[in-house]
């Protein structure tokens, strides 16, 4: 019989639900989300920027968070939602709209993309209310606390998961958050950080997970092996019974984490999973690495870890710990750059950086916490002359001429059609600094180059993506104007998505070419 978690949070269920109205307020300040600091697997597959470059709003209720999502021009329009106060069942309702799909018993990030949720001011606490990410991409959650989310008892939310991801989720960065429960499954709680049903390219960094029966899982069953490419670094797992995490299939990278009081088991690699376990500090724990509760083996590559007062059980049946002297039984290639802190200083570094309310401090590998830049990186010289675009267009016909055009955001007095008329004195501008414009054809057309021309007086494009609108695939990304080449793609619609800009861009022409 599994033990219930002994330690309870010292303060539960903060009193006084906020009664603010459900609206959102425009904020003149920049969110403190350091989106440029994304690390790990969330940097892959085109990267994770969240709502960078989009509108910033402030919310003090769950309803206001949903309203901000539903007020966007489209489900992919970038937005940063600054959250302050206690978010709970009493101030969270379902909001409807064409750019959202919300629910009343959780914070619902469903069928959307390009969103940042960041705690500001005196902090953001999601009390007994989980965050659910489903069929979504490019999501950042930063500097918030999620506590006491239950799957049984009252009230219930999100299947008992503090943060849960499922069904074709891509590119999520969860950073400097605190995820807490007050017991295990018998007390009504489930996982703190769960991923299943084809969730990939996720990073959990500088976060605290504590006082729960289950830390989290990657894959809901032995057959759910479509998940993976997950990084866990500089996190504190404290007073967790098991699943720190449970990994079924896929690849995960765990480095510079502090594991303290893992009561029954820790990193559970099974069902063909491969875990790279670097420079972690395991303390006062039991069976911190291995394959547990299954006969389907998983694998690990270990190096530089410290095992401080760790006990190991004997191997028997479906219980196969890696210790007492863990050695590698696979190798894992990591595609991104990372710098390791020495394992001996991990407890100190993690104590100073991990969790909400720590000022988003990070480590640079020197064992000394650093304070990141408080804003997203922008143009290095916003006062430099505007790039007018390519002076010599690529050879061949501009396929945009005679095509159609539409988009997701349009400033008054401008037109989507102005980007395909061959006239550089007319232009399209988004209603703000970010938005998207598309060129479309009646039948599939092969495109391998695009030209972005800016009109006089234009703001500077800090970052953009070119998307195959038919599939959602990122064809290319960059900044400024000019010509960009990519692998030939047969498509009916190509989208220029501006995600960051200084001033308001004026796109005179969005040219497309076959070669």
Give the number of C-alpha atoms closer than 13 A to the C-alpha of residue 511, restricted to the C-beta side: 28
Distance from C-alpha of 405 to C-alpha of 400, rounded to nearest angstrom: 9
Give first-to-last CA distance, the chain, whole Å: 66
Per the listing, tokens 């799909």 go with: 101
Q: Which residues of 89-121 are buried (b: 16+ CB within 10 A; e: fewer)?
A: bbbbbebeeebbbbbebbbbbbebbbbbbbbbe
Distance from C-alpha of 33 to C-alpha of 175, rounded to nearest angstrom: 9
270 has catalytic annotation: no
Distance from C-alpha of 115 to C-alpha of 172, rounded to nearest angstrom: 10
Distance from C-alpha of 32 to C-alpha of 101, rounded to nearest angstrom: 26
Residues pairing with 466 in the sheet: 476, 496
Of the residues 72, 243, 248, 270, only one is catalytic, namely: 243
DSSP states along 213-256: EE--EE-SSTT----EEEEEES-EEEEEEE-SSEEESSEEEEES
Distance from C-alpha of 310 to C-alpha of 297, rounded to nearest angstrom: 22
User: Nearest-CA neighbor of 228 among 197, 265, 192?
Assistant: 197
CB of 125 closer than 8 Å to CB of 145: yes
Beta strands in 345-434 (DSSP E): 362-363, 369-370, 404-407
CA-based diameter of the chain, in Å? 76
Dihedral Cα 47, 469, 73, 413, nearest 10 deg: 110
Give the number of C-alpha atoms closer than 13 A to the C-alpha of residue 335, restricted to the C-beta side: 12
Distance from C-alpha of 230 to C-alpha of 252, rounded to nearest angstrom: 5
CB of 305 closer than 8 Å to CB of 343: yes
Residues pairing with 450 in the sheet: 484, 512
Cβ contacts of residue 418 below 8 Å, gap of 6+?
426, 427, 428, 507, 508
> With helix as H, strand as E and coil as C, how does 461-481 read?
EEEEEEEECCCCCEEEEECCC
* Residues designated catalytic: 243
């Amino acid at each position: 019989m599994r033990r219930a978690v002994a330690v309870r949070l010292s303060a539960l269920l903060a009193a006084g639900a906020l009664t603010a109205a459900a609206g959102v307020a425009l904020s003149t300040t920049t969110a403190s989300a350091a989106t440029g600091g994304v690390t790990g697997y969330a940097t892959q597959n085109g990267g994770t920027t969240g709502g960078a470059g989009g509108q910033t709003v402030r919310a003090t209720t769950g309803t206001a968070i949903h309203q901000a999502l539903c007020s966007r021009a489209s489900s992919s329009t970038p937005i940063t939602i600054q959250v302050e106060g206690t978010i709970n069942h009493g101030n969270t309702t379902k909001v409807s709209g064409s750019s959202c799909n919300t629910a009343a018993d959780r914070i619902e990030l469903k069928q959307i993309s390009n969103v940042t949720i960041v705690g500001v001011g005196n902090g953001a606490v999601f009390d007994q209310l989980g965050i659910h990410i489903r069929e979504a991409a490019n999501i950042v959650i930063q500097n918030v606390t999620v506590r006491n989310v239950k799957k049984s008892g009252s009230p219930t939310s999100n299947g008992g998961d503090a943060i849960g991801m499922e069904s074709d989720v891509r590119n999520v960065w969860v950073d400097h958050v605190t995820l807490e429960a007050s017991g295990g499954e018998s007390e009504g709680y489930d996982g703190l950080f769960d991923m299943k049903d084809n969730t990939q390219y996720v990073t959990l960094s500088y976060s605290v997970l504590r006082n729960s029966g289950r830390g989290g899982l990657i894959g809901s069953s032995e057959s759910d092996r479509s998940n993976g490419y997950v990084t866990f670094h500089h996190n504190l797992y404290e007073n967790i019974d098991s699943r720190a995490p449970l990994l079924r299939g896929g690849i995960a990278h765990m480095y510079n984490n502090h594991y303290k009081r893992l009561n029954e088991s820790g990193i559970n690699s099974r069902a063909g999973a491969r875990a790279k376990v670097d420079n972690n500090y395991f303390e006062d724990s039991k069976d911190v690495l291995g394959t547990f509760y299954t006969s389907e083996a998983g694998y690990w590559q270990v190096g530089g870890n410290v095992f401080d007062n760790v006990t190991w059980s004997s191997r028997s049946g479906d219980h196969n710990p890696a210790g007492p002297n863990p050695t590698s039984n696979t190798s894992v290639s990591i595609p991104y750059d990372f710098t390791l802190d020495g394992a001996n200083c991990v407890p100190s570094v993690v104590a100073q950086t991990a969790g909400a309310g720590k000022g988003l401090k990070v480590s640079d590998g020197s064992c000394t916490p650093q304070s990141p830049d408080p804003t997203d990186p922008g143009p290095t010289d916003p006062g430099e002359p505007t790039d007018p675009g390519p002076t010599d267009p690529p050879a061949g016909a501009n396929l945009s001429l005679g095509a159609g055009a539409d988009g997701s955001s349009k400033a008054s007095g401008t037109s989507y059609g102005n980007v395909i008329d061959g006239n550089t004195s007319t232009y399209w501008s988004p209603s703000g600094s970010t938005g998207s414009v598309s060129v479309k054809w009646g039948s599939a057309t092969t495109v391998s180059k695009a030209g972005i021309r800016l009109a006089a007086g234009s703001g500077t494009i800090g970052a953009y993506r070119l998307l195959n609108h038919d599939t959602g695939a990122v064809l290319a990304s960059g900044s400024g104007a000019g010509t960009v080449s990519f692998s030939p793609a047969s498509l009916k619609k190509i989208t220029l998505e501006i995600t960051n800009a200084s001033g308001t861009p004026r796109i005179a022409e969005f040219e497309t070419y076959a070669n």
